């Protein structure tokens, strides 16, 4: 499974760059409504009517020139949101672990997540044709939450924040699918918690802005959010295609692939003792081929040229390995291995015909190829 820390970072970056504005567009009004009611409500006013007070009186009672009290319901709202999303992530991870999806099934889920992001972006751009396709909560549920936001209890913002798990934005749905692909309750909780943490810095500010700015400015923010979500969707598509072994997008400068050596047996004595000592691709005296891939936070090398028609073993040599690279997959063969942090993990590739075999991490971020010829 991918590293929980890596997934936490992935969730936080997704929340920061795409989720903050998109979730604020869906949920920001609830937060702003709760904070506003707490600012204006006065228990001494009959029937709960708001009574304006001079700023000096408010400052004297608060004990400071600033108004820190609105930060309390904001914090309660985000704490409730963090609790529910982390719990959901753990449950989704358990679900994924029980299913044990194959590498290509995970890739399909990632592409589905990207499709949801695309629909959400088009909806933000005002494309009416996709309006009915975007998942939305029932209107009655939103009305219930808005009515509950009018109470003064500090527990109310926390409960509303907890309930936002039932009012997801498009990006949230996409992250939930990634939590399923993690196949672990810890990893699933990590990516969902990271997502909420990533949205936190912008959530209150954007919620406030959506609450008080003009419709025109809100529209501009929606378009900007759509552009960001489109970028995240494109990245997710590329990762999904690589995770499924259907494509490899290598943006690094090309180099000479590591090639087989020692096929005639003239350099096999050292290879028999330690295949990795003489090169990443070796053939011993018995005609068996060994391909050694070094795994750190990345894969080294990423391109191999090996001999077709001979029994081949892939050695995953962990060298202080970490991150997503440890979750090694060969989608075409359905291979899934967790690489040892320091040590070797062997994968029997059988006798391969001429062609290209793609390998990747579970998230489709680290990739490479073995070309048999």
Section 201-217 average pLDDT:
56
Percentage of residues in the chain having pLDDT higher than 90: 24
What is the pLDDT averaged over residues 334-350?
92
Res. 296: pLDDT tops 50: yes
For residue 167, pLDDT over 70 is answered with no
The alpha carbon of residue 61 and the mean position of all alpha carbons in its chain are separated, in whole angstroms, by: 45
pLDDT at position 69 over 80: no
Q: So what's the pLDDT on residue 219?
A: 58
Domain ranges of the chain: 4-243, 258-372
**Rounded alpha-carbon distances, angstroms, from residue 229 to 25, 172, 173, 242:** 13, 11, 13, 20
Domain 258-372 annotated CATH 2.60.40.10:
no
pLDDT band for 326, please (50, 70, 90 cuts): confident
User: Cβ–Cβ contacts within 10 Å for residue 278, how many?
Assistant: 17
Q: Which helix (H) or strand (E) holds 305?
A: strand 303-306
- Residue 122 is predicted with a pLDDT of 86
Higher-confidence position of 7 and 351: 351
Give one word for 158, left, alpha or beta, with left for phi > 0 and alpha for psi -120 to 50. alpha
Mean pLDDT score, 95-105: 78
> Which whole number is the average pLDDT over 58-83?
62
**Which residues are bridge partners to 329 per DSSP?**
336, 360
Give the residue-averaged pLDDT of 112-140. 76
Confidence bin at 139 (pLDDT 50/70/90): low
3-class SS at 17? Answer: helix
pLDDT score for 245? 92
Say whether pLDDT at 257 is over 50: yes
Section 204-209 average pLDDT:
57
- pLDDT value of position 338: 82
> Of the ranges 26-35, 104-113, 150-159, which one carries the lowest mean pLDDT score?
26-35
- Of 95 and 346, which is predicted with more confidence? 346
Residues 6 or more apart whose Cβ sits within 8 Å of residue 220: none
The lowest-confidence range among 35-39, 144-148, 167-171, 261-265 is 35-39
User: Does residue 6 have a pLDDT over 60?
Assistant: yes
Q: Identify which of 172-186, 259-273, 330-344 has the greatest average pLDDT.
A: 330-344
CA–CA separation, 286 and 113 (whole Å): 47
Reply yes or no on whether the pLDDT at 12 is more than 50: yes
How far from the centroid of its chain's Cα atoms is residue 34's Cα? 29
The CA–CA distances, whole Å, from 232 to 101, 114, 143, 171, 342 equal 23, 8, 31, 9, 33
Element (H, E) at 326: none
131-145, 181-195, 293-307, range with the lowest pLDDT: 131-145
Q: Are 359 and 367 in contact (CB under 8 A)?
A: yes
Tell me how far apart the alpha carbons of residues 370 and 373 are, in angstroms, rounded to a whole number: 10
**Least confident interval from 94-98, 110-114, 156-160, 191-195:** 156-160
Containing 300, the helix (H) or strand (E) segment is: strand 299-300
41, pLDDT greater than 50: no
Q: How confident is the model at residue 239 (pLDDT cuts 50, 70, 90)?
A: confident
Please tell me what DSSP assigns to residue 133: T
146: left (phi over 0), alpha (psi -120 to 50) or beta: alpha
Terminal CA-CA length for the chain: 32
Of 25-29, 183-187, 350-354, give the lowest mean pLDDT range. 25-29
Q: Which of 37-51, 251-265, 343-357 has the highest mean pLDDT?
A: 343-357
- Give yes or no for residue 39 having a pLDDT over 50: no
Mean pLDDT of the chain: 74
* Torsion from C-alpha of 79, 82, 40, 36, nearest 10 degrees: 160
Q: What are phi and psi of 202, to 5 degrees?
A: -95, -15
């Amino acid at each position: 499974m991918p590293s929980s820390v890596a997934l936490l970072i992935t969730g936080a970056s997704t929340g920061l760059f795409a989720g903050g504005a998109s979730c604020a567009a869906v949920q920001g009004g609830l937060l702003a409504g709760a904070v506003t009611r707490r600012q204006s409500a006065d228990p001494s006013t009959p029937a709960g009517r708001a009574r304006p007070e001079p700023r000096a009186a408010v400052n004297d009672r608060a004990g400071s020139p600033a108004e820190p009290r609105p930060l309390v319901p904001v914090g309660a709202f985000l704490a409730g949101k963090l609790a529910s999303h982390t719990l959901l992530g753990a449950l989704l991870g358990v679900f994924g672990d029980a299913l044990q999806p194959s590498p290509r099934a995970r890739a399909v889920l990632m592409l589905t997540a990207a499709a949801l992001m695309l629909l959400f972006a088009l909806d933000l751009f005002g494309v009416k044709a996709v309006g009915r396709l975007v998942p939305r909560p029932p209107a009655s549920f939103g009305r219930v939450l808005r009515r509950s936001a009018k109470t003064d209890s500090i527990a109310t913002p926390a409960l509303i924040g907890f309930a936002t798990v039932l009012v997801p934005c498009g990006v949230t749905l996409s992250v939930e699918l990634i939590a399923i692909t993690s196949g672990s309750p810890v990893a699933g909780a990590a990516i969902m918690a990271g997502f909420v943490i990533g949205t936190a810095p912008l959530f209150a500010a954007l919620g406030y802005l959506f609450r008080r700015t003009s419709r025109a400015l809100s529209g501009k923010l929606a378009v900007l959010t759509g552009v960001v979500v489109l970028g995240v969707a494109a990245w997710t598509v590329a990762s999904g295609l690589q995770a499924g072994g259907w494509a490899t997008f290598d943006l690094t400068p090309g180099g000479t692939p590591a090639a087989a050596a020692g096929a005639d047996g003239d350099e096999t004595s050292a290879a028999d003792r330690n295949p990795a000592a003489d090169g990443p691709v070796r053939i011993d005296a018995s005609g068996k081929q060994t391909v050694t891939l070094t795994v750190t936070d990345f894969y080294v090398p990423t391109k191999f040229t090996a001999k077709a028609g001979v029994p081949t073993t892939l050695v995953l040599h962990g060298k202080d390995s970490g991150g997503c690279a440890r979750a090694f997959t060969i989608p075409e063969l359905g291979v899934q291995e967790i690489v040892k942090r320091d040590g070797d993990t062997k994968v029997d590739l059988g006798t391969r015909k001429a062609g290209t075999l793609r390998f990747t991490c579970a998230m489709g971020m680290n990739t490479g190829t073995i070309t048999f010829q």
